[in-house]
Structure 1
Amino acid sequence: MESFFEVNGQELRLTNLDKVLWPREGFTKSQLIKYYLEAAPYLLKYLRNRPVVFQRFPGGIQEKGFYQKNFPLEGPSWVKTFSINSRSSSKVTRYILVEDVQTLAWLGNQACIEIHPWFSSLQSLENPDFAVFDLDPMEESTFEQVCSVSLTIRDLLVKVGLKCYPKTSGSTGLQVYVPLKPRYSYEEVRKFVSYFCSLVHDIHPQITTMERKVDKRQGKIYLDYLQNAWGKTINAPYSIRPHPGAPVSTPLLWEEIQQGNITSSSAFHLLNIKERLEAKGDLFEGVLTGKQSIDGILENLMVSK
């Protein structure tokens, strides 16, 4: 079955709208597309002008999905793209640019359930405009511990005059963003995040780890700083996730974390995110508007060497 809809003046051919993508809940492709249309005013801000990678689940989340970087040959001519040369080979990737609501709707029709933008924009591909502390709990970690670690990150950054913004990963952890002026290399940003992760680990040695190998993390919260690298991506704010319940990666208030109001990373999902957005608005706006300098911190790191 196929249907034709006009979205923002563009006619779209949508297929298999009754395809169930989340079997336990019965959520369909139609509901995924509807979410993208409703969330577009929030979601698009964090996708525009960036290379984007997607995870697609055409058979639903119970089947193995796949990542897609390259624009498909059969894709519509009106979707904008941007080509980037690989640093390790002669390969060229033609990334999709998500600039408008009709592209979001088309992605929904492709069963794109995860959306992962770069840390940098097209204007400054070599210079990320945010850093991310990705808190990835292992099997023995609790969400309460994840919240405690995130508050430590906040407190350390506040001491050096930096603002940061938390969001649920939509899986099991939290992610803390630090907006930056796009003038630092990925290596500098990674060193900045690594330094603060080391401080956090010194404070919470019993529940955190910086060990890269999963089998050596001893069930602790992994402080992932390596994601801050050229070509790496992270799930976008308001991106829906391919997990039971259709959780949404959702920006939070620090007060919500401190007061224990958020009990899991999947607290917000397809059925309650609209109410959340209507009540709170975009809590992540500062990531886009409040770009910050880390000159002094990097200088101190160089001196300490």
Structure 2
Amino acid sequence: MAGGDAEVLDVAGHEVRITSPGKVFFPERGETKLDLARYYLAVAEPLMAAMGGRPVLLQRFPNGATGSSFFQKRVSPTKADPWLTTTRVSTPNGTVSDALVAVDLAHVLWAVNMGCLGFHVWPNTAADPGHADELRIDLDPSPGVTFPMIREAAAETKALLDSLGIASHPKTTGSRGIHVYVRLEPRWDGYQVRAAAVAAARELERRRPELVTAAWWKEERGSRVFIDFNQNAPHKTVFGAWSVRANPHAQVSAPFGWDELATIEPRELTLATVPTRVREQGDPWAAMAPQSLEPLLALSERDLAAGLMDAPWPPVYPKMPNEPPRVAPSRARKDTP
């Protein structure tokens, strides 16, 4: 329903206003704010299966994908939208805020109207903040890394997890990388999930040291695929499945099947093409089910027993037990008398 300079969508029992629906959000393609809203309507079922009930961090682009942006951590319902659901979340330094919860598609479209193109999603549900129920293995392309190398690293990741009896599910990042997800039983906190991610990264580096690195310091990575284990640090959000990136191509962080790994092309997975994929192929993550983290935690315990220290944490986190010095190796050498 249109009214003035707004389109009113009846979604999940709520009327959501899309103001300035004709505002162009992707100038190179001509797609508008309303096109973005219709995209999320088209992928509603798999989108909500992936992030329904989770807190989300909003990155708002008031003037579209090519404009400036800012992160919005706090959301407050108003008289216009009293139905909005929020939950209390905290950052590593203890700052708390009320984050939007992706309860249903009405909440998603409310955020789209605020200029949110895609969603940075928490690894826990709002109903159970103490347990991270997703392991997210981020295959990060360092300079010089090609997408065929990312594909190869993803295959190695699958092989490792398969050998441990863990089913995994890939998605493109909406840029140049791949994320591999494992849905977990809600039994472990973010510290334990990160420990499992560190163990996976180190094991992958042992298996393919010429291709994969677990080195936190960029100067040590070379032209290898970095397994960014710190994407699993507590309170860390990751760009969500089915979310649209703020790039000229309107690329989607799109789940896909492992049988597509050799042929998947991130540039082809866009706001315009992904709804057709979903309509024709369904949800590639439909079989995702909760699993045990114990096999990876056993690898972590093995590494610690062998004398390995914890991997470095990002600088915004407090110093952790068994963590090595937070100084780049080249800097440490210069500081040594």
Give your verdict on TM over 0.5.
yes
Deviation at 1:234, TM superposition (A): 1.0
Distance 1:87 1:232, change over 3 A: closer
For 1:51, the equivalent position in structure 2 comes to 55
Distance 1:12 1:301, change over 3 A: closer
For 2:8, the equivalent position in structure 1 comes to 5
Distance 1:108 1:211, change over 3 A: same
**Structure of higher CA gyration radius:** 2
For 1:123, the equivalent position in structure 2 comes to 127
Tell me how far apart the structure 2 counterparts of residues 52 and 87 of structure 1 sit (CA, whole Å).
16
Give the secondary structure class of the aligned counterpart of 1:140.
Answer: coil
Contact 2:77 2:84 in 1 (8 A): no
For 2:89, the equivalent position in structure 1 comes to 84
Cα offsets for 1:115-145 (capped at 9, x unmatched): 0111111232121111011011123111111
Distance 1:297 1:78, change over 3 A: closer
For 2:274, the equivalent position in structure 1 comes to 273
Amino acid at match of 1:245: H
Contact 1:40 1:104 in 2 (8 A): no
Structure 1 range deviating more: 6-15 or 138-147: 6-15
Deviation at 1:109, TM superposition (A): 1.1
Deviation at 1:235, TM superposition (A): 1.5
Find 1:70's aligned residue among 70, 74, 77: 74
Tell me how far apart the structure 2 counterparts of residues 3 and 300 of structure 1 sit (CA, whole Å).
54
Aligned residue pair count: 299
Tell me how far apart the structure 2 counterparts of residues 69 and 151 of structure 1 sit (CA, whole Å).
35
2:162 matches 1:158? yes
Structure 1 range deviating more: 187-196 or 210-219: 210-219
Deviation at 1:238, TM superposition (A): 0.8
Distance 1:40 1:297, change over 3 A: closer
Percent of counterpart pairs with the same letter? 29
Distance 1:279 1:108, change over 3 A: same
Structure 1 range deviating more: 141-150 or 77-86: 77-86
Distance 1:301 1:214, change over 3 A: closer
Structure 1 range deviating more: 196-205 or 248-257: 196-205
Consecutive unaligned residues of structure 1, counting only runs of 5 or more, are none
For 1:294, the equivalent position in structure 2 comes to 293
Find 2:150's aligned residue among 136, 146, 149: 146
Consecutive unaligned residues of structure 2, counting only runs of 5 or more, are 306-337
For 2:140, the equivalent position in structure 1 comes to 136
Find 2:179's aligned residue among 171, 175, 179: 175
Deviation at 1:201, TM superposition (A): 1.4
Amino acid at match of 2:84: V
Q: TM-score, normalised by structure 1?
A: 0.91
Deviation at 1:56, TM superposition (A): 1.2
For 2:232, the equivalent position in structure 1 comes to 228
